[in-house]
Structure 1
Amino acid sequence: MKQIRIHWLIDSNCQSSHIQNAPELATVRVVPSSQGALLDSFNESACLEPGVFIFHARVIFRQPEPGVWTQIGEFASELEEEALMIRSIERGRCLQRERFPEITVACEPGTDLFRYADRFSFVASCDAGGDVDSTSLCLYRSRLHELLGSDHSQALLQALQLQQTPALHAHPMPRHVSLPLRQAMHNPYRGRMRQLAAQAKVLEYLCALSTHLLDNRKPLPEKCLSRSVVRDLHHKLLGLDGKVPPLAEIAREYDISARTLNEQFKKEFGLSIIAFVTDYRLRAAHAALSHSRVAIKTLAARLGYAHANHFTAAFTRKFGYPPGKLRRISH
């Protein structure tokens, strides 16, 4: 891949950009004008090795407008050979108006996009109701065959309905399968170590994808649940506002049983999922009451309690005194 051409549509003042094929991570950042709907939009790319490319894209909206689709840009590239291209959305929703083939496809968490072609050209739009975070992977056919073997890679393409070219299909994908790909560009290292860490995550992803699609004897996900999945859930819970989803619903995101997920989480963090969320939120409420004047009723609703008295009872059990007393002492 020599370069990807990007024509930004979010701001008429933004010039077309090119992501060059380079061994180190490179970032193309575009900041729209103050009148634009976006706060920021950028792509970063890396050539992990010849014929293996990875991209991370983020779109941040200044003022969320649910249901309003905003065109972000036109993306195009001609490849040196046919390639398997994959896009996984961590958050937000996107629409891609494709030219090869001429269709429009939707991308959202839980549904990954798979392409097999020697080129691509599409206009991307995002739902302005929330920020968008996605990771894409491009594997040349020769590298795919080298990594998986010719028979196995052909079977994988067949399972993805990509026997012909150009072909493009969206497939539901369990979170535990896509998670390593999404983690590939998010590591704390620099230089060669960062590239190696990204390569390791890509290989982990290809193993998970192949096992999920091809291995009829695959073990249940709960038997091989990795610490990265549990830590991903931990990170997600820390940023969760309002009522906590039912445990069964959380477990479905990771395609494992609720009991096993809860047991693994408790083994890693010392508390069950619900106990952890309750403890974390009550400690956060204690800090908020000590350093701000937010209303107890407002705080209770923000933390997912249906009634303020339920919050008061839980707070009292945790700390030995009601939240109103803490406020009187603090202020």
Structure 2
Amino acid sequence: MKPGYDSIVLNWLIDPQQSSTEIRAVDRDIECKRAPIPLELGVGWISKYDLPMGMSVLRADYRFNSSATGKLVQTARLEASLPVETLMLHSLSHGRSIQDDHIMKETFSYGVGFDLFRYSQEIAVTPAVDCTFDCLATVLAVGRPALANLLGPTVADRTLVALGLGVAPAVVVRAMPSSVSSILQKAIPNNMTGLMRTLFIQARVLDYLTALIDHLGTNENDAPPVKVATQRARDLHEYLINTYGKLPTLETLAAQFNVSVRTLNNDFRAEYDQPIHTFIAEHRLSEAHAAIEGSDIPLKTLAERLGYSHVNHFLAAFRKKYGYPPGNLRKRQKRELS
């Protein structure tokens, strides 16, 4: 089965001296082709691998210099006309991307913990990347016939509907647990070539699709899917416990889940018996207690990792919860070890 595209054209914006790059289905795999990123910003590569079962995996790897911190840079205008309606699943293991979709006439922002899903027969987008972070994006493209062949027509239809992509064109950003998205993110090996690499990528993609339909509850033989509110709360919980540093505001999280702050908080409280803010504070202070007991990590570094704007705020919160400052816990641990 041939790939679900004929060609994809990248009209580069990040470097005006570069015109365009065409990725064609008839071409061989592309491995780490240099992207025209100005040296003052950093370096980048693009890769493309076509699989025997009518699927393709694309990757963009951008690594930015510290001098580029804070810049939001448009990379290229990406255009493609596809022979069939195609599901494209975008996942970031690093960084943040903002896509201006010229067909949907909307802007979509996604990053670690939130994947972008597109179902369309035509693509016209201008992605931008936040140069504060390196960006590693993996995209799986699978045409509707190939999806039906892999999953079965019923499961394919149920999966598209569960993703909110029942009618093309459609684009959604959804919270996705790392147990699912990390399978796609790690699909391309660094130490394989030739047929071995192709088979490895194909196996990982099939594992990813299996994990995705299990997560969505769209497998024909599965029990009925969990309620939308319950799944939303679980997805948020997974995101919160796997994210370090400063978290997005509740307003931003609610927008990512396409609900109000009140609905998101009520869903979370119903599932975990705590409002979101309380859970975050309790979970992160418990992590801090364990880290102080089991490592020599500096308190300032620990405070930054847990998202506190100042170490003094962390010290006050820790004392309030445990009745003693973190320094006392560290001293006690050192005495017990000596």
Q: TM-score, normalization: structure 1?
A: 0.67
Structure 1 equivalent of residue 152 of structure 2? 149
Structure 1 equivalent of residue 37 of structure 2? 32
Q: Distance in 1 between matches of 2:336 and 2:86?
A: 56
Q: Distance in 1 between matches of 2:30 and 2:332?
A: 47
Change (3 A) 1:303 1:52: same
Structure 1 equivalent of residue 134 of structure 2? 131
Q: Deviations over 1:83-113 (max 9, x none)?
A: 1111011121111111222211111111111
Q: Distance in 2 between matches of 1:64 and 1:318?
A: 46
Q: Distance in 2 between matches of 1:209 and 1:152?
A: 11
Q: Deviations over 1:198-226 (max 9, x none)?
A: 11111111011101112563899xxxxxx
Structure 1 equivalent of residue 73 of structure 2? 70
Q: Distance in 2 between matches of 1:205 and 1:318?
A: 46
Of residues 117, 120, 145, the one that matches 2:120 is: 117
Structure 2 equivalent of residue 80 of structure 1? 83
Change (3 A) 1:50 1:207: closer
Give the secondary structure class of the aligned counterpart of 1:49.
Answer: coil
8 A Cα contact 2:160 2:166, kept in partner: yes
Q: Deviations over 1:157-204 (max 9, x none)?
A: 111121211111111111111111111013522221111111111111
Structure 1 equivalent of residue 109 of structure 2? 106
Change (3 A) 1:97 1:241: closer
Q: Distance in 2 between matches of 1:77 and 1:192?
A: 27
Q: TM-score, normalization: structure 2?
A: 0.66
Please say if 1:213 is aligned against 2:225: no
Structure 2 equivalent of residue 294 of structure 1? none
Amino acid at match of 1:27: C
Q: Distance in 2 between matches of 1:143 and 1:314?
A: 61
What is the identity percentage for the equivalent residue pairs of Structure 1 and Structure 2? 27
Q: Distance in 1 between matches of 2:174 and 2:14?
A: 29
Deviates more, 1:306-315 or 1:158-167: 306-315
After TM superposition, give the deviation of residue 302 of structure 1 in Å.
Answer: 4.0
After TM superposition, give the deviation of residue 275 of structure 1 in Å.
Answer: 10
8 A Cα contact 1:53 1:139, kept in partner: yes
Q: Deviations over 1:115-150 (max 9, x none)?
A: 111121111111222111111100011110000001
Amino acid at match of 2:166: Q
**Within-5 A mapping of 1:187-202:** 187-202=190-205
Structure 2 residues not aligned, in runs of 5+: 227-241, 247-271, 273-286, 304-310, 316-324
Please say if 1:57 is aligned against 2:63: no
Structure 2 equivalent of residue 14 of structure 1? 18
Q: Distance in 1 between matches of 2:300 and 2:36?
A: 35
**Within-5 A mapping of 1:158-169:** 158-169=161-172
